[in-house]
Amino acid sequence: MAGDHWSMQEIDAIVAAYFAMLSDDLAGLSFNKAEKNRELQEIIPRSRGSIEFKHQNISAVMLGLGQPWIAGYKPAANFQNALVDGVLRWLEAHEGWLAPPSFHRVQERGQAPFVGQLRENAIAFGPAPTLRNEPSPVDPVFLTAMGRKYDVAERDARNRALGRAGEEMVLEHERRCLHDAGRADLARRVRWTAVEDGDGFGYDVSSFAPDGRERLIEVKTTRGWERTPFHMKRNELAVAQDRHEAWELCRLWDVARAPQAFVLHAPIERHVELMPASFLAELR
The pLDDT score that the predictor gives to residue 104 is 41
Closest CA to 167 of 98, 103, 237, 95: 103
Q: Are 259 and 223 in contact (CB under 8 A)?
A: no
Residue 124 phi, psi (nearest 5): -90, 110
Q: What percent of the chain has pLDDT over 90?
A: 54
The pLDDT score that the predictor gives to residue 190 is 97
Q: Model confidence at 101, in pLDDT bands (50, 70, 90)?
A: low
More confident residue, 104 or 98: 98
CA distance 237 to 227: 19
CA distance 174 to 194: 15
The string of DSSP codes covering 100-137 is: PPP---SSPTTS-S-S---GGG--EE---GGGS----S
| Amino acid found at 117 | Q
CA distance 78 to 165: 35
What are the structural domain ranges in the chain?
A: 8-98, 119-270
What is the per-residue pLDDT across 107-160, written as a single tens digit (0 to 9) for each? 333 333 322 333 445 899 999 887 777 777 667 777 777 777 777 878 777 788
Q: Model confidence at 258, in pLDDT bands (50, 70, 90)?
A: confident
CA distance 20 to 32: 12
Alpha carbon 130 to chain centroid, angstroms:
17
The pLDDT score that the predictor gives to residue 205 is 98
Q: Which residues contact 61 (CB under 8 A, 6 or more apart)?
A: 79, 83, 84, 87, 146
Mean pLDDT, residues 7-30 taken together: 93
The pLDDT score that the predictor gives to residue 111 is 30
What is the per-residue pLDDT across 79-92, written as a single tens digit (0 to 9) for each? 778 999 999 999 88
Range in 14-23, 43-52, 60-69, 110-119 with the lowest mean pLDDT:
110-119
What is the per-residue pLDDT across 160-216, written as a single tens digit (0 to 9) for each? 888 999 999 999 999 999 999 999 999 999 999 999 998 889 999 999 999 999 999
The pLDDT score that the predictor gives to residue 180 is 95
Beta pairing, strands 205-208 & 214-221: antiparallel
